Amino acid sequence: MSNIAKIVGQRIRNYRNELGISQEKLAELSSCHPTYIGQLERGEKNATLESVEKISRALNIPLSKLFELLEETNSNDESIPFECYEIIASKSLCEQKHIYNILVELDKFKKN
């Protein structure tokens, strides 16, 4: 499967986990089959636009959140900022704030 399918699938899993719901519950909320949700999350299936829209609604996130910065994945070069984005985006808002504060402190330390 393409790298994009894997990234979008991982993002679906991250948002689902952040809500604390199972694949079965997401399937119910999005009117998709639970097996299909699992296949999408593992990057084994290419999602249809219709199913991605249903899933984003069920997750209560804008459709665009699942596709942010995907163009970065098309280069063959490793992108450290993109990798950092993926790690941070997979965390809860509270964890994101902690990571941000750590980065701010590191930046201040570097300037001294």
Residue ranges per structural domain of the chain: 1-68, 75-112
Q: Is the distance from CB of 9 to CB of 2 less than 8 angstroms?
A: no
Q: Which amino acid is at 9?
A: G
Q: Show the low-confidence residues of the chain (pLDDT under 50).
A: 73-74
Q: Which of 9, 21, 26 is nearest to 67 (CA)?
A: 9
Cα(100)–Cα(96) distance, integer angstroms: 6
Quote the pTM value.
0.72
CATH topology of domain 1-68: 434 Repressor (Amino-terminal Domain) (1.10.260)
pLDDT of residue 54: 97
Cα(112)–Cα(104) distance, integer angstroms: 13
pLDDT of residue 1: 56
Task: Mark residue 20 as left, alpha or beta (left: phi above 0; alpha: psi -120 to 50; beta: remaining).
Answer: left
